Amino acid sequence: MQEKDRTLVEFRHITKRFPKIVANDDISLSIRKGEIFALLGENGAGKSTLMSMLFGLYEPDEGEIFLRGKAEHIHSPAEASKLNIGMVHQHFKLVQNQSVTENIILGMEPVKKKLGVLSCVDKKRAQERVRSLSQQYGLDVNPQDIIEDIPVSVRQRVEILKMLYRNAEILIFDEPTAVLTPQEIESLLEVIRSLRDGGKTIILITHKLDEVKEVADRCAILCRGKLVGVYNVKDISTRQMASLMVGYEVSLDVEKARHSFGNVALEVKNLSVFDNDEIKVVDNVSFDVHEGEILAIAGVAGNGQVEVADALAGLLPVRQGTIVFEGKDITSLDIRPRIEMGISYIPEDRQDVGLLLDYNLGNNLALKTYYKPPYCKNGILYENSFTKEGDKLIKQFDIRCSDGCATTVRSMSGGNQQKAIVAREISLGSKLLIFVQPTRGLDIGAIKTIHDRIIELRDQGKAVLLVSLELDEIMELADTIAVMYNGKVQTIKDASTLTANQVGEYMMGVHHEA
In terms of Cβ atoms closer than 10 Å to its own Cβ (0-12, 13-18, 19+), residue 31 is: buried
Work out whether 347 is an interface residue with other proteins (CB under 8 A): yes
| Ranges within 188-227 binding other proteins (CB under 8 A) | none
Sequence-ordered alpha helix ranges (H) in 120-166: 123-137, 152-165
Q: What is the rounded distance in angstroms from the CA atom of residue 512 to the CA atom of residue 514? A: 6
Site string for other proteins, 54-83 (x = CB under 8 A): ---x-------------------xx--x--
Work out whether 438 is an interface residue with other proteins (CB under 8 A): no
| Ranges within 309-328 binding other proteins (CB under 8 A) | 313, 315
What DSSP character marks residue 408?
A: B
Q: What is the rounded distance in angstroms from the CA atom of residue 236 to the CA atom of residue 222? A: 15
Shortest Cβ 345–other proteins spacing (Å) = 7
Number of Cβ atoms within 10 Å of the Cβ of 216: 26
Q: Pick the piece of the chain touching other proteins (CB under 8 A) from 94-102, 236-244, 269-277, 494-502.
A: 94-102
Identify which of residues 95 and 252 has a Cβ nearer to other proteins in the complex: 95
Question: Is 153 within 8 Å of 188 (Cβ atoms)?
Answer: yes
What DSSP character marks residue 271?
A: E
Upper half-sphere CA count for residue 496 (Cβ side, 13 Å)? 5
Q: Pick the piece of the chain touching other proteins (CB under 8 A) from 20-28, 92-100, 240-248, 449-457.
A: 92-100
Shortest Cβ 386–other proteins spacing (Å) = 10
Binds other proteins (CB under 8 A): choice among 133, 146, 230, 353: 353
Work out whether 21 is an interface residue with other proteins (CB under 8 A): no
- Cα-Cα-Cα-Cα torsion 167, 173, 174, 176, nearest 10 degrees, comes to 120
Shortest Cβ 340–other proteins spacing (Å) = 8
Closest to 307 measured CA to CA, from 253, 271, 340: 271
Work out whether 356 is an interface residue with other proteins (CB under 8 A): yes
Containing 73, the helix (H) or strand (E) segment is: none
Upper half-sphere CA count for residue 314 (Cβ side, 13 Å)? 18
Phi, psi dihedrals of residue 484, rounded to the nearest 5°: -110, 140
Work out whether 144 is an interface residue with other proteins (CB under 8 A): no
* Cis-peptide, bond into residue 374, ω within 30° of zero: yes
Shortest Cβ 120–other proteins spacing (Å) = 4
Containing 324, the helix (H) or strand (E) segment is: strand 320-325
Q: Pick the piece of the chain touching other proteins (CB under 8 A) from 206-214, 373-381, 396-404, 428-436.
A: 373-381
Residues paired with 298 in a beta bridge = 468, 483
Closest to 504 measured CA to CA, from 514, 491, 494: 491
Work out whether 376 is an interface residue with other proteins (CB under 8 A): yes
| Ranges within 265-304 binding other proteins (CB under 8 A) | none
| Ranges within 378-437 binding other proteins (CB under 8 A) | 379-381, 383
3-state secondary structure of 312: helix
Q: What is the rounded distance in angstroms from the CA atom of residue 206 to the CA atom of residue 39? A: 6
Q: Pick the piece of the chain touching other proteins (CB under 8 A) from 33-41, 134-142, 171-179, 367-375.
A: 367-375
Work out whether 335 is an interface residue with other proteins (CB under 8 A): yes
Binds other proteins (CB under 8 A): choice among 359, 391, 455, 470: 359
Site string for other proteins, 96-135 (x = CB under 8 A): xxx---xx--xxxx-x------xxxx--------------
Shortest Cβ 408–other proteins spacing (Å) = 9
Identify which of residues 59 and 383 has a Cβ nearer to other proteins in the complex: 383
Q: What is the rounded distance in angstroms from the CA atom of residue 355 to the CA atom of residue 441? A: 16
* Interface ranges with other proteins (CB under 8 A): 57, 77-78, 81, 93-98, 102-103, 106-109, 111, 118-121, 313, 315, 334-336, 339, 345, 347, 352-359, 363, 367-368, 370-371, 376, 379-381, 383
